[in-house]
Chains A and B, each alone.
Chain A
C-alpha cells in the first residue's frame, strides 16, 4: 500500500515538475508548482515527517505561491513577451544534451546504490512530530536555529532595501 502510494506520488511530482518547466503560460507553471509542493508534502507524510509536510503546504503552497501568482498577474507576463525573446537552436540542443546526459548519469549512479535501511524494531514513529522537532531545535540545534534567524534577517533587509522606491528612480 505504502509502496504503490509512493510510486504514485513520485510520478505526480515528476509530472508536475516537468509541467512547471514546459508550460508556456507562467500561470500554468505556478499552478503546476503548487501541485508539485502538494505531492512533495505527501512524500513527507510517508516519511513520517508530519510537521514538515504541514509547514510545506502552509508556507510554500499557501503563502509563496499566492505571492507568485499575484506578481505574475501584476506584471502581465503573457506569451507574447516570452516568445519575443529569441533562443538559438544551438542553445536548445546543447541544453537538452547536457541536461539529458546529467539525467542519464544520475540514474546510472543511483540505480544500484545501496541506501542504509532503518531498523523497524527501534523505529520511533513520533520523530517527525512538532514536539520532538521543537525539542531538538532548541537544545541540540540551537546554534543553527539562531543562525537561520540571521539568514532571515539578511533576506528581509535585502528585500526591503531592493524593494523600496528610490526618489530618482524612473519607474518599476
Chain B
C-alpha cells in the first residue's frame, strides 16, 4: 500500500465514508432529507474526485488498476447510482418508515460494482461481487410488506449463491492450473501454453456461469422477471443498470487482459448465449402485460445485443459496448424512473393498464417514457439508435454475419412490444381523471428533474453522439494499449 493508492481509490473511500456517516446519522436521528442529501453529496464528490484522475493507467498491485476503462465504468456507475438516488426520494417519501437504510445499502451496492470494474484479481472480483450481491438481497426485499417482495429477495439470494458457487469453483480451477489469481498473470500463462489444459477450460466455463447470472443472459436469465417485478422500482433500475454494467466492465477487462478472445470455444459459447438472449428476451416480452417484467425481458435482449459488440473483440467493439452501455443506462433509468414516478404507496405501477391513456393525463411523463421506449427499440435520433448502429458496425466490421442478422431480426421483433406500450399510452380512455393520489409537487421535484435530464441526454446523444464518442475514445486510449 502506498499513499498515492489512497488518492486513486478516493471515489471508493468516499462511498464507504458516506455509508458510515449515514449509519451514524440514522443512529442519532432518522431524517429522510438529511440522508438523501448526504447520499447525493457523496456521489457528487466521488464523481468530482474521479474527474481529478487523469486517464493514465495506475496499478495497485495486485488487486486494482485505475485505467481509462475503469474510470469510464466508475463514472458511469456513480452517475447512474446518483440518478437512482434522485428517483428514490419521492418513491420512498411515500412510505411510512424505514426509508433511511435504503440509501446506506444503495451506496454499498454501488461500492461493490465500483470494486468490480477496477479489479484485476479474483479476490477483489469476488469481494466486489459479493458486496454488490449481498446489498441487493436486502434491497430487493426492502418493501417487505409487499406480496412479491420476499419471494423476489429469496429467489435472488438462492440463485446468486448458486452462481457464486459456480464462479468460485471456476476460479479455483483456474488458480489450480495457472497458480495465479491476477488477470495479467493469467494472460502471461495463456501466452506460454500452446494448448489450453482441460481443467482451465472447465474453470473458464464455470466462471461464465457466475458472470452470466449477474448479466442476466440466457440460460441464467430466469430470475430477472420475478426479481424485477418484486423489487422496488428504483432498485429494479439499479439491477438493470449498475449490476449488469459492472459485470460487463469486468468481463471485458478479464477478456482483454487475459487475452481470452483468441479461444474459439469461448467465443462460440458467447455467440450462442448472445443469440439465445436476444431471441428469448424479445420473444418472452411479446405478450407481456406487466411493464416491469417486460423491461426485464427487454434487458435480457439488450445484454444479448451488447454481447454482439463484445464478441467483436477489438477496439471498435469495446467502443460500441461503452457507447451502448451509456445509452442503455440512460434509457433504463428513464423507463424505470417513470415506473417509480407513477407508483403509489400500495404497489408499483407495473400493469400495462396503468399506462393506458397516460399521455392525456400526464403528457410530460408519457413523452419521456415514449422517448425511452423508442430508444430501447432503436429508433433514429435517440441514443439507442446510435448505440445499436455502433454495435452493427462492429459486427459487420468483424464479419459476424449470423450475429448481425439476429440483431436486426430481433430489433424488428422488439419493436412490437415497445410500440404496444406507446400505443397504450396514447389510447383515449373514458376515465380521464387521475385515479391515484398525486404527491406534493415539491416532493417529486428531484424525480422530475432527473427525468427531464435523462430525456434531454437521450435526445442529445441521439442527435449529437460525437461528443460522447470522443470521450469514450479518449478514455479507452490507455486501456486499449493492453490489447
A154-B108, A157-B101, A161-B105 in contact; A169/B144 too (CB < 8 A)?
A: yes
In the complex formed, the residue of A with least CB distance to B150 is A162
Within 8 Å CB of B137, what residues of A?
Answer: 158
Stretch in contact with the other chain, from A20-28, A48-56, A70-78, A141-149: A141-149
A113: CB under 8 A from chain B? yes
A153: CB under 8 A from chain B? yes
Q: Check if B123 sits within 8 Å of A144, measured CB to CB.
A: yes
CA distance A110 to B202 in the complex (A): 9
Within 8 Å CB of B101, what residues of A?
Answer: 157, 161
A147-B131, A161-B138 in contact; A110/B124 too (CB < 8 A)?
A: no
B165: CB under 8 A from chain A? no
Within 8 Å CB of B16, what residues of A?
Answer: 150
Q: Check if A154 sits within 8 Å of B198, measured CB to CB.
A: no
In the complex formed, the residue of A with least CB distance to B123 is A144
CA distance A162 to B430 in the complex (A): 42
CA distance A155 to B133 in the complex (A): 10
B64: CB under 8 A from chain A? yes
Q: Check if B128 sits within 8 Å of A147, measured CB to CB.
A: yes
A144-B123, A158-B134 in contact; A109/B202 too (CB < 8 A)?
A: yes
From residue A100, how far is it (CB to closest CB) to chain B in Å? 17
Q: Check if A153 sits within 8 Å of B130, measured CB to CB.
A: no
Interface size class of A (residues with CB under 8 A): 20 to 34
In the complex formed, the residue of B with least CB distance to A106 is B202
In the complex formed, the residue of A with least CB distance to B132 is A154
Within 8 Å CB of A115, what residues of B?
Answer: 176-177, 199
Q: Check if A153 sits within 8 Å of B108, measured CB to CB.
A: yes
Within 8 Å CB of A159, what residues of B?
Answer: 138
Q: Check if B199 sits within 8 Å of A116, measured CB to CB.
A: no
B side interface size, CB within 8 A: 41
From residue B64, how far is it (CB to closest CB) to chain A in Å? 7
Within 8 Å CB of B192, what residues of A?
Answer: none
Q: Check if A113 sits within 8 Å of B198, measured CB to CB.
A: yes
Within 8 Å CB of A154, what residues of B?
Answer: 105, 108-109, 112, 131, 134-135, 138
Chain B interface, DSSP helix/strand/loop, else mixed: helix
Q: Check if B98 sits within 8 Å of A164, measured CB to CB.
A: yes
CA distance A136 to B202 in the complex (A): 30
A167: CB under 8 A from chain B? yes
From residue B430, how far is it (CB to closest CB) to chain A in Å? 35
Q: Check if A169 sits within 8 Å of B145, measured CB to CB.
A: yes
Name the contact of B105 in the complex, choosing from A109, A114, A141, A157 (C-beta under 8 A). Answer: A157
CB within 8 Å of B: which of A21-80? Answer: none
CB within 8 Å of A: which of B82-115? Answer: 96-98, 101, 104-105, 108-109, 111-112, 115
CA distance A113 to B141 in the complex (A): 43
Within 8 Å CB of B128, what residues of A?
Answer: 147
A93: CB under 8 A from chain B? no
Of A106, A115, A151, A157, which is in contact with the most chain B CB atoms at under 10 Å from its CB? A151
CA distance A115 to B64 in the complex (A): 28
Of A142, A157, A164, which is in contact with the most chain B CB atoms at under 10 Å from its CB? A157
CB 8 Å contact bits of B192-207 with A (1 = contact, 0 = none): 0000011100100000
Within 8 Å CB of A141, what residues of B?
Answer: 123
A144-B123, A151-B127 in contact; A113/B19 too (CB < 8 A)?
A: no
Within 8 Å CB of B198, what residues of A?
Answer: 109, 112-113
CA distance A153 to B199 in the complex (A): 36
B223: CB under 8 A from chain A? no
In the complex formed, the residue of A with least CB distance to B60 is A143
CB within 8 Å of A: which of B196-242? Answer: 197-199, 202
A166: CB under 8 A from chain B? yes
Q: Check if A142 sits within 8 Å of B134, measured CB to CB.
A: no
CA distance A16 to B104 in the complex (A): 40
In the complex formed, the residue of A with least CB distance to B100 is A161
Q: Check if A150 sits within 8 Å of B97, measured CB to CB.
A: no
CB within 8 Å of B: which of A91-148? Answer: 106, 109-110, 112-116, 141-144, 147-148
CB within 8 Å of A: which of B1-36? Answer: 1, 16, 19, 23
In the complex formed, the residue of B with least CB distance to A115 is B176
From residue B275, how far is it (CB to closest CB) to chain A in Å? 22
A150-B16, A157-B105, A167-B97 in contact; A114/B141 too (CB < 8 A)?
A: no
A168: CB under 8 A from chain B? yes
A109-B202, A164-B98 in contact; A151/B145 too (CB < 8 A)?
A: no
A/B interface sample: 12 pairs, CB < 8 A: A109-B199, A113-B198, A114-B197, A147-B124, A147-B128, A147-B131, A150-B111, A157-B23, A162-B141, A162-B144, A168-B96, A168-B145
A residues near B (Cβ < 8 Å) are 106, 109-110, 112-116, 141-144, 147-148, 150-151, 153-155, 157-159, 161-162, 164, 166-169
10 new A-B contacts, CB < 8 A, other than A150-B111, A166-B97, are: A109-B199, A109-B202, A110-B202, A143-B63, A153-B108, A157-B23, A159-B138, A162-B141, A167-B97, A168-B145
